Structure 1
């Protein structure tokens, strides 16, 4: 290995000015939640340019002026209350520490002393970068063709190329030329018209005897034929066919479809995912017979299993973390040690660990079961059922149920949709001074955190045992209106996921879906639950369109 590439201050400047919300090496040197780039800006921030000392009409005084600042640069004055409503403009002039702007461009009353300033535009750099993609795109390197042309009156014209080997004869014989005989210039002009091909004319060895002529149209035909031969002869020989024929896509899909069996009159089953002991008790009090436990602290799993078994009548499956990294197999061991009735598996590492553990396993949404072939592959690993991917619309869900045995699947009918899952822990970053789980003090166990978006919605943030954070949508969504279609397609296993509901709310949600599954209520329960009526993360690209 060679020496590390040099990274100069000029390189850093260009990188930050091209696009940056702050630069950091991330986890290349280990986890440090305090030093990660803050999630403050949703757009380009650029290069720090100083701090405001004072203001005057159309001018701002900085504590110090950076050497890179010049006339024409764009500046933005930070407004953490609303990053979409910030003062800024291009530098009109620089006088000492005073930065002047176009008259009326700034409302300096909104720029208090101490405001941070960022350089968001550099016209010189932007022009130089623009030249790298605008204008004529250089052509890729072409293959040189060295040609030989020979012939005489009464015989065909012969056009040859040695590498790659190609040979073309004219369809008509050469004729004595009374005027405009074939010359080197004519041949170079016609044979060199290789245009958009990957070839270019190299040398031309002309061995034509006497003054002869051939129609230009025939020369053009010969050129095209030669290029065709050269291209064909340049291609690598096709690989020998495999002795073991591969199944076509249709055959593979047919093999999965052949496993389908009639759903029969089997009643629907409701499963509830619980995240607190209140949820567990509400599910047990409601008579739910299958519980999934997804606790932030998996050390409590033993107590969860004990409580469910003590009350009897229900089974409990414990959820694995969504991501498993090297060295985290201990999480799986804690789950196995709790002796659950089964496991809700969220990653391939969990499949491998629990394959021989003797525990029934259900594949969760993060395995992304979105088509029948993926479903068949995951079923072959030993999973009992598969949670249908959240990426599918209701139409795609029904297509999946028609293409594979519906008994393979389970669908989440009610949930707060997880919007993103990240390694960065906002709890440690903003509620502690710790760098990672070893010294953060676990503020996630003492605080409830919501992130407020630009329209005022407050989205719940949860940490898992690996200190990874998941942001959930503030508004729950339900697929209740599609229940009849799902039943008709043969699906019998339905899930409700609880998040931050208290005991009373949990009972109300569970009861609503029990009524739905029993047929005593319709699919409009979304109104009572104040939920968004939708399956998956999107309604699809055709939603709301008329044709």
Structure 2
């Protein structure tokens, strides 16, 4: 089994110290550029150099998050930044953009690459594909359970990293457009506005009635906490245990890393999980939105969600017994300890004195009933949570604020003390780094008391507040010699400093200090304009086959053979559109698709590239094609068309398409899918469903989420019982098709989801009219445009883009 790595989030230098001094084996952090947490402090270039020195000296690896999608006009600067990271000894890059990753692999082939969870690796097929193109590590989607993870670990050689603690996304990471579609802030660009933490109500589309629920935050997840079953994750073969939280304070990092360090070490030593009550209490106190074991360990539905509180809840400590408003006294029955200086969720501020009858004290213990001074509102039996703990803060702050070296690395030493020669001292660490110092002093014969081995060893073991502990020591000592203690101390210090410098450098980098450049090749695009549509069922298909279109993408696997027959009868090409999420066993349900004689398929997962390798494939926008490097990578893999990301604007699309000659399509009509989730709001809220079974309520698509502005986001489910949340307004660019055509898009795509056959007919007639009329609007297109404009439409990101 591979060595288990505990990986810590770092948003500041204090957090770096907190992580390292509490036992992290590696840290991940962001620079000021291309980081998926743009609102974190992040590190400038000089701070990155210092972070590397601090971590590497202490034996901790550093990974930099460059896990955003890269625009065409950013590629040159991105490569320059990556080369800087390579030269300053960053251990690995965490990436989302596959085109950027392939560019790095060409120019810096020995740079370690990690596939971010934003790359949506959720199956063995996905992982094996990423391994085949050069990734050294894959961060799995947070939706996978331990059985699926074990299957992946058992069947691949790449390192596997899994989130074990912290915030969860309700949507598959890398598949969320909700923040960008609603507020122009893209999660794919590190600027998620967290729309999942906002209030929503669920409504029945048919009746307009609101469905009652236990809370208002219908998309807000609990926080993951896997510490009590960390053995299952380790035994599954996971190499890296990842803690979420680059936006969190250093106290959070220290608490969580210290807790998991103890739990992991205890399990590796004793093969038993032994997590104390105090550790659990600390984790609740430092931050939680209620805890869940997550889909990782079998929690589903309601057990993963927290519709009541979208922010920190704290540690439950007891209930209100009584509140004397006149005396300003709150009586509490304690179920956990409460101390002076602690904070609670009532009234704000911190606890002053604690009153027990006539006694004033600083602490109340579990099982006691106490009183505190209180101004505010409280009701009998109200639950009270501790949101800060002075003792915990003092304990964890002492690990990083006092510059104490709490975690030591073993080193071995040698010293040679020969009469008439200079003293020679050598240190080496367990990773092969070596340092040697020859002292200036000439060793003399002792006049009185000769130097002893015991005295030399005592001095050499005085490593004090360094990050080292001397393990083995060899002493080559002549008899009856003399050497000042100050000389031994000096050469020891110098050798330690030299060893530290050696530990900073990564030794086997082949391309250090070499210049690298990025210069894409322009391509000639001579393409005919085509119209394609995507439909969900046979009813929609029967309507669209009557129109002049190039191809039809069809989503329903259960009726695909009927769909192909209908297509052939009407001389239309029907292409199966595979799901955007296909977990390990779910590929079995697609075997019949692979065996069909049809030559083409549309795919939205990386694993599908090899799974459907006997077919021509079209890349859907789910794979986040953001630049020409990504388009051309998919072309090299055999793609016949690529659908461009829906987050690019006109200028960015034009800049991108200059450098590729592949057929490129763009969605010019449709309700954009903004989220895909394992969580089913319909099932949980309507009937507390916990089964992986598509029920009537869900399959009918009769529910929507309504936000505070009154916008309604329709919900639907796929064949694997996953929920898709659609935009409230359709994208419509009827009057912008000419501009799209002029910048190089040669396939216009209409995505039909909830439209009736009459609505489909209306949309198709309008778009065909515009295309056939040399991009001028006619009667049908004008009529549709006015109708949709009144109901509410969006031009998506075609004219605004994302930051």
Asked if 1:280 corresponds to 2:541, the answer is yes
Check the 8 A contact 1:343/1:362 in 2, yes or no: yes
Asked if 1:125 corresponds to 2:399, the answer is no
Q: Which moved more, 1:371-380 or 1:135-144?
A: 135-144
Q: Which residue number in structure 2 is paired with residue 183 of structure 1?
A: none
Q: Tell me: higher relative CO, structure 1 or 2? Use CA pairs within 8 A at least 6 residues apart.
A: 2
Asked if 1:292 corresponds to 2:550, the answer is no
TM-score by length of 1: 0.67
The alignment partner of 1:35 has SS state of: helix
Asked if 1:530 corresponds to 2:789, the answer is no
Q: Which residue number in structure 1 is paired with residue 376 of structure 2?
A: 105
Asked if 1:354 corresponds to 2:612, the answer is yes
Q: Which residue number in structure 1 is paired with residue 655 of structure 2?
A: 399
Q: 1:390: how far off? A: 4.2
Q: Which residue number in structure 1 is paired with residue 401 of structure 2?
A: 134
Q: Which residue number in structure 1 is paired with residue 66 of structure 2?
A: none
Distance 1:402 1:447, change over 3 A: closer
| Separation in 1, partners of 2:311, 2:504 | 49
Give 2:295's match in structure 1, choosing from 3, 16, 27. Answer: 27
Asked if 1:421 corresponds to 2:676, the answer is yes
Check the 8 A contact 1:165/1:233 in 2, yes or no: no
Q: Which residue number in structure 2 is paired with residue 345 of structure 1?
A: 603
Q: Which residue number in structure 2 is paired with residue 435 of structure 1?
A: 690
After superposition, what is the alpha-carbon deviation per residue over 1:300-359, rounded to whole angstroms, capped at 9, x for unaligned? 44444444444x143222221212222112331354577767321111332222212xx4
Distance 1:283 1:321, change over 3 A: same
| Separation in 1, partners of 2:537, 2:638 | 29
Check the 8 A contact 2:581/2:605 in 1, yes or no: yes
| Separation in 1, partners of 2:592, 2:666 | 27
Q: 1:235: how far off? A: 7.4
After superposition, what is the alpha-carbon deviation per residue over 1:280-316, rounded to whole angstroms, capped at 9, x for unaligned? 3553455434222235xx4244444444444x14322
| Separation in 2, partners of 1:282, 1:45 | 52
Give 1:41's match in structure 2, choosing from 309, 318, 328. Answer: 309
Distance 1:453 1:362, change over 3 A: same
Contiguous gaps of at least 5 residues in structure 1 = 78-86, 171-194, 206-219, 542-547
Q: 1:492: how far off? A: 0.3
Check the 8 A contact 1:262/1:490 in 2, yes or no: no
Give 2:530's match in structure 1, choosing from 269, 292, 295. Answer: 269
| Separation in 2, partners of 1:97, 1:399 | 69
| Separation in 1, partners of 2:506, 2:392 | 45
The alignment partner of 1:48 has SS state of: strand
After superposition, what is the alpha-carbon deviation per residue over 1:96-116, rounded to whole angstroms, capped at 9, x for unaligned? 99886755422x5xx6x7765
Matches within 5 A, 1:370-409: 370-390=626-646, 392-407=648-663, 409=664
Check the 8 A contact 2:620/2:643 in 1, yes or no: yes
Check the 8 A contact 2:599/2:616 in 1, yes or no: yes
Root mean square deviation of aligned Cα: 5.6
- CA radius of gyration, larger in: 1
Q: Which residue number in structure 2 is paired with residue 8 of structure 1?
A: 276
Q: 1:267: how far off? A: 3.9
Q: 1:520: how far off? A: 1.0
Q: 1:389: how far off? A: 3.3
The alignment partner of 2:393 has SS state of: helix
Matches within 5 A, 1:96-245: 104-106=375-377, 108=378, 116-136=383-403, 138=405
Asked if 1:464 corresponds to 2:718, the answer is yes
Distance 1:287 1:250, change over 3 A: farther
Work out the number of aligned pairs and report it.
485
After superposition, what is the alpha-carbon deviation per residue over 1:441-481, rounded to whole angstroms, capped at 9, x for unaligned? 45311452322334443322332212222333323445668
Check the 8 A contact 2:649/2:801 in 1, yes or no: yes
| Separation in 1, partners of 2:426, 2:384 | 66
| Separation in 1, partners of 2:303, 2:275 | 20
Check the 8 A contact 2:631/2:662 in 1, yes or no: no
